[in-house]
Every structure is written in C-alpha cells, then in structure tokens.
Structure 1
Amino acid sequence: MKRRLLPVVVFLSILTGLIAASHAYLYHRLVASPAWGPPWDRLGLGLFVGLALLAPATMVGARLTGRPASVWLAGLGYGWLGVLLMLLTALGVAETLRPALVTAWGEPATSQNLALAVLGLVGLATVWGVYRALGPPRVVRVPVVLPRLPPEATGFSLVQLSDVHIGPMLGRGFLERVVAAVNALDADAVVITGDLVDGSVERLREHVAPLADLRARHGVFFVTGNHEYYSGAPEWVAALEALGVTVLRNQHVPLGPIDLAGVDDFNAFGEGHGRDLEAALRGRDPGRPVVLLAHQPRQVVEAATHGVDLQLSGHTHGGQIFPWNFFVRLQQPYVAGLVDHEGTQLYTSRGTGYWGPPLRVAAPAEITLVELRSTS
C-alpha cells in the first residue's frame, strides 16, 4: 500500500511546489518589484495566495459539488490556470528586455511598466480567449483530393467533430447547438474522432443525449480518444451505440465511394481494447480509397505504411492556448490542419470544445466539413 501511494505523494508534492513557486514569482514581479506601495502590496499578497489555493480547490470541489456549482468552480479554477500560463510566458519574455530597460528607466519604473504591459496584454488575450472558447465553433471547410476517388464521387462530405469534452464545463446546451450546426451542413456522414466526454456515463448520459438527433445520409461514426478511457470506455461504447452512433473499434465499413476505418486510441487500455490498424483494414477492397479515424495525429506514421488515403484526427486542440502549441509538438508530429505524411493525408482538427481552461487563444474551435474530390 505504501509503495502504491509513494508515486502519488511525489507527484502531489512536485505539483504543490510548482504552484507555490509560480504564484510567488507572479507576486514578486507584478506586486513586490514594482513597489506599488500600500494597500496594493497586501491586496496583491492576499490575491496570489488565494489564487494558489484555487487550483487544488477546483480539482476537489468540482467532483463534490452539484453541476451548477461545479461549472462555476471549474471555470474559475481552470480559467486561472490558463491565465497563469500566459502570465508566466509574458513575464518570461519581459525578463529578456529587463536589463536594457533598467539601464534606460531605472527602478521601480521598469518593473512598473513591464507589469502593466504584461497585465494589459494578458488581459486582452484572456477576454479574446474566453470569447472564442464560449462562442459557437466556426465551420471550417477542408477540400481534400483523393487520387483513388471516382470522379462521380467528388463532393462526398464528412463532418468531423473532435474533442467536444462534454463534462464539468460543457453540457447539453452546448451539444444541442453543435448538433444543429452539423445538421445544417447536410453531410454524407458525421465522424467523431474521440474525446467526446470527460466523465462517467452515469453523470453525463443526459448531456450527450442530443447526439441521437445527428442526421447524415450514411450515419454517425465514432472512435475512442484517451479521455474515454479515463471515463469508462466500455460503458461509453455501449451508451453511444444506444444513441445510434456506430463505434468503429479496429474495423471498417463501406461508406458510399470510400471505406471508413476506425481504430482505438493510441493510449487505449483495458481488456479487449488497443489499436490494431491491420485488423481495421483487413478484408477490404484495396482499390477503394480509405479514410481512417484515429484520435491522435501520431497514428499517421503507421497509417502511411498501410496505404491509408486520409486520416482524420484531433487530440491537440491546435494547442488551445498560446504557447501550448509549441509543447504539443513534443508529443505529436502535427498540431493542426491538413498535411501530407509520406503519401497519407492527415487532417488534425483544433477541436470542437475545449479542455481545462475555458480559453482559446490562437486556436479557434471548429466543426470541420471535409469535402472529398477526385483528381479527374
């Protein structure tokens, strides 16, 4: 028992240390160094102590309170984490300018001017980020040329949803608006490339019910993302199928002029779960174009070795908050948009919802309309 608890204790200790150090640094650069004087010094100290306690309070409280209270608590707590990241980034840039400015302006003028500039810039980014996160996802039209697509099939369309993250922050109302927007596009098929939910079927069944209203000529299809495995993947597979959604688990189906294949998430776990691209493609006509649904962009490396024409992915959120897009590249080969990887085209959605901070800075949410075209 002690051995099992040790990694948890170590992780929580490191996390607590990072949170404390980050807030101490913010207090130093935004309050102490500028020497604003009373009462701002005491107010600033109290504010940053309170904000340092907000993150752990959110992680615990969001699970214990009812939904209306948990939404507000999650919004404040996760929102502050996003603002914290932007403040630390902006202050890091400011540190590179500080020596030259101190020579020109002296102190505390330099610290005061830099603090005001950082607070102003991050404040504007926060307002814009909240607006982009809470507003309606934009429709992004993505034409994709598939050499093996018959000329008469040009115009075959797939609407892609990804990373909706129904859970502590986004609920039934948001999904109803997304469903209405998707149905207005009158697509041939709707595909959901994972991370639909953040929570158990028991807690979120009512909130995902609008999926039953999705309409497309060839149906609605889904593959698991990593967050489904944190939320009870077997139960969610059954719940989605009960809503009329076809869950592709290492299998393919003929869909008009294409084959649509889907695999479990790259990090799938549990008995009977795990990605298997060979099984997903087994038995299909190799002369037909195949579109693969795979949650993580890095799965394109394997897809390219199997002659997949197009892979649709999500997972990255396009970075969601600058500068997180740079860190995403440490794990994923691609962050957003359409690319060609060794002959296999990959489209990575920026996501339809958001995860964690209700902010989207330089990475707007999207509903993707993929329009297939022939070379002829």
Structure 2
Amino acid sequence: METRYYIIFAVIILTLQVFLVLFHYTLRWLLQDKFSPKTLFRISLCLGIAANAFILSNIFFRLYHNFRLNALILVILYFIALIGFMAFVLFHVGKIWLRREKLNHVLRILYFPALIGLFGLSLYNAYTPVVHHYQIRLDKPMQPLRIGVASDFHLGKYFGGKQMDELADIFRREKVDLILLPGDIMDDNVDAYLAEKMQSHLAKLQAPLGVYATLGNHDFFGDERRIENEVRKTGIHLLMDEAVQVDGKFTIIGRNDDLVPNRPSAKTLLRGVDTRLPVFLMDHRPTDIWEHSRLPIDIQVSGHTHKGQIFPANLLTYMMYPLNYGFKQINGVNFFVTSGYGFWGVPMRLASQSEVLILDVRGTN
C-alpha cells in the first residue's frame, strides 16, 4: 500500500478519537433521562471499539478501497458532534433569558431535525451547482470571449452521466465560446466511468472554440493511461504539459499535476508562445501562483482545493495555498480557483458548493 494511504488513515484515526469523545458527550446529553451514565458510557465505548476496529482492519488487511465508508463514518460522527456543540453554545447563550430546564428540553427536541437538515444541506450543496460570473479586461487585442470553467468532476459511482448532462446544459444556456477543465476528471480510475457508460455524457461538453482539459492528482493514481485515452475519445483536447494556439486568437497551456516527476515549469512551457496574444493556463493545483504572477500569463484556472469541501477543512486549504478559492489579481495576472463541480470521497459539502465559472473576457478592442 502506498505511503499516502498510511498518512490518510493516520489522520482518520486521530480525527475519529476526537469525534468519538464529542459523540459520547452529545449522547449523554440527549439520553440522560433514559439511560444511566454507566450505560451511556458502555454504548459509546462499544461504538468506539467497533469504529476503530473497522478502520484499522482496512489498514492491516489493505482494504483501502473502503475509504468512502471510513469517510462516511467520520462525517456522521462529525455532524452529530457539530449539532451537539451548536446546542451547547445556544444553551449557554439562551440561559440568560430562559429557564435552563425549558431551554434544554427545547434544544433536545430540535436536535434531530437540525441533524437531518445538516445532512440534507450537505447533499444539496454537493449536487446543486451554482454558476458564478466574472468579467475580465485584458490589455491585449482580442474579441470578447466567454469561457466556461469546471473542475474536479471525480467521475465515479456517485457522480456521473446525469451531472455531465446538467453541466452541458449549463454551458449551452450560458452560450460559452470555450470550455476549460483543469483536472481531476476521473475519481482515481475509469472503472465506474466505463461500467456506467459515461462517455456519451462527457462528450456532450461542447463549445465553438473547443473543450480543453488537463489532468489532476486523482487522474495520476495509477490509471492515467486509460484516463487519458477515455478523455481523448470524447473529443476533448487533453493538454499534458503542452501549449496550443487556438485559431490564432489565444494560447492555452495545460500542465500535468505535480504528482508527475520532473514536470516542466510554466516558464518552460511558455517558450515559443506568442505572448502578444492572450495566454490561458490550466494548472490543477494553485500552488505556483506567486511564480506564475511573474510570467506573461493572462488567466490561470485551477481547482483541487474543493474549498475544503466540508467545514472546517476550508480553514486548512486557506492556510495551504496562496489562493484556496475565488479570484485574485496579482501583477496583472488573473487567478481563479474553483471549488469544483464534483466532490471527493463522500457526496457532501458544507460551507462549500458545487460550482461552475463563467468568465467574460474582453481585450483592448
């Protein structure tokens, strides 16, 4: 098993212990009238042993394909603890005005509807895309251009043909001239993609000036050759550390993810590129933003971060990347990082939502 899986499981185990402690206190608060503290402790202990045994068995028996189930266990415990923590805060704020017994009773009644609502909201955010529009002015001669951007499909068991049809409809309604897909098209492999016959759905992504894509980290987890072949079959122009000029109007550069050893820098890929024309860069991870801000690039589009996907992971991505989400202009270069159209792991998003970008780009004439 690869090292990255051991790191992931170590983080999962540590996080699980925190959530189990919070779960115990939440359970004790909810059921204190029905069970004794000793009984509630035994329930929490049995659940904790079962959860740890299940996840540890995945490590020792190399069942790392059960990652989604591990993640789902964590999310369920996290949501239970999160609503419990919110109730704790509301109790200590509300007791100023209401009697403690009455307030505690009301909060316990509202707990389960709030928990169900939180799960519903997270599913809604994962499967209901929002379209964000930006207007960009470049100091170069070019005709008005409308670019559609969508990243991080993670096409697999829980995100597939239906969502691609919806994305194609969005781009069609928005009347985009060009489509850019900056990476993580597949969710590690093409098994589900082939089994669910998604090729015809992905091929529906069309634009007058073409559809261009690059590969992300999840496209390089061992099945990159089949992923590359399947993407190209749909008519999508896959750029793997390549630059291409489109109709003499602008240049698109696509970088491989930095999982690829010794990948050329953006500066190297710019050699021979006519920078008098607009230059658009697709780079899956927004890690090299400061370096790219010193290059003759006009627009960079990235994904990867998912805006954390589930709060408070967005605080981590905020600390990890120069720009973890949104738009930022540095030295005249326009950087965009999208939260992504799909999701990774569990089909849930909290403080993050499925997203499509529409960039209206204008030049000096």
TM-score (norm: length of structure 2): 0.80
Work out whether 1:144 is the aligned partner of 2:141. no
Are 2:5 and 2:64, in contact at CA under 8 Å, matched by a contact in 1? no
Q: CA deviation at 1:243?
A: 2.1
- Match of 1:130, SS state, is helix
Q: Is the 8 A contact 1:298 1:332 kept in 2?
A: yes
Matched-pair contact (CA < 8 Å) for 2:141–2:277: yes
1:239 to 230, 238, 261: 230
CA–CA distance in structure 2, aligned partners of residues 5 and 338 of structure 1: 35
Pick from 7, 13, 25: which aligns with 2:22? Answer: 25
Deviation at residue 94 of structure 1 after TM alignment: 6.6
Deviations 1:318-370 (A, max 9, x none): 22222221111121122222211232111111211111222222322122221
- How do residues 361-372 of structure 1 correspond to structure 2 at under 5 angstroms? 361-372=350-361
8 Å Cα contact 2:156-2:190 kept in structure 1:
no
Amino acid at match of 2:139: P
C-alpha spacing 1:44/1:109, structure 2 compared with 1 (3 Å): farther
- For 1:136-285, what aligned pairs fall within 5 Å after superposition? 137-150=129-142, 153-154=143-144, 156-205=145-194, 207-209=197-199, 210-256=201-247, 257-265=249-257, 267-269=258-260, 274-285=263-274
Match of 1:126 in 2: 119
When residues 308 and 227 of structure 1 are mapped into structure 2, their CA distance, relative to the original with a 3 A threshold, is: same
Indicate the SS of the match to 2:171: helix
1:157-204 Cα deviation digits (max 9, x unpaired): 111110111113212232233233323433221111111111323442
SS at match of 1:26: helix
Match of 2:287 among 290, 298, 307: 298
Distance in 1 between residues matched to 2:138 and 2:280, nearest whole Å: 10
Structure 2: how far apart are the matches of 1:78 and 1:227? 17
Q: Tell me which amino acid in the other structure corresponds to 1:280.
A: L
Rate the CA distance shift 1:374–1:95 in 2: closer, same or farther, 3 A: same
1:352 counterpart residue number: 341
Give the AA of the match of 1:147.
Answer: D
Alpha carbons of structure 1 residues 80 and 317: separation in structure 2 relative to 1, 3 Å: same
Q: For residues 58-100 of structure 1, give each alpha carbon's deviation from its aligned partner in whole angstroms, at most 9, with x where no partner exists.
A: 9988948xxxxxxxx95x7644433433444555667778888
Paired AA for residue 77 in structure 2: L
Could you tell me which residue of structure 2 aligns to residue 69 of structure 1?
none
Secondary structure of the 1:173 match is helix
Structure 1 gap ranges (5+): 65-72
CA distance in 2, matches of 1:23, 1:287: 58
**Contact preservation (8 Å) 1:30, 1:115:** no
Q: Alpha carbon RMSD of aligned pairs, Å?
A: 3.9
Unaligned runs of 5+ in 2: none
Partner of 2:318: 329
Change (3 A) 1:85 1:301: farther
How far the C-alpha of 1:239 sits from its partner, in A, is 2.3
* 1:291 and 1:309 in contact (8 A); partners too: yes
CA contact (8 A) 1:165 1:353 kept: yes
| Structure-2 residue corresponding to 1:373 | 362
Q: Secondary structure at the match of 1:361?
A: coil
SS of the residue 1:126 aligns to: helix
**Letter aligned with residue 252 of structure 1:** A
User: Residues 163 and 193 of structure 1 are in contact (CA less than 8 Å); yes or no, is this contact kept in structure 2?
Assistant: yes
Secondary structure at the residue paired with 2:307? Answer: helix
Asked if the contact 2:297–2:333 (Cα under 8 Å) also holds between the matched residues in 1, the reply is yes
Q: Distance in 1 between matches of 2:101 and 2:21?
A: 19
Displacement of 1:131 after TM fit? 1.8
Counterparts in 2 of 1:42 and 1:291: CA distance versus 1, 3 Å: same
Alpha carbons of structure 1 residues 282 and 88: separation in structure 2 relative to 1, 3 Å: farther
Residues of 1 paired with 2:340 and 2:40: CA distance?
Answer: 41
Give distance in 2, aligned partners of 1:48 and 1:205: 38
Q: Within 5 A, what are the aligned runs for 1:100-119? A: none
Contact 1:58–1:78 under 8 Å retained in 2: no
Identity across the alignment (%)? 20
TM-score by length of 1: 0.78
Gap change, CA 1:61 and 1:185, over 3 Å in 2: farther
Cα distance 1:218–1:122, how it changes in 2: closer, same or farther (>3 A)?
same
Give, in whole Å, the separation in 1 of the partners of 2:302 and 2:159: 21
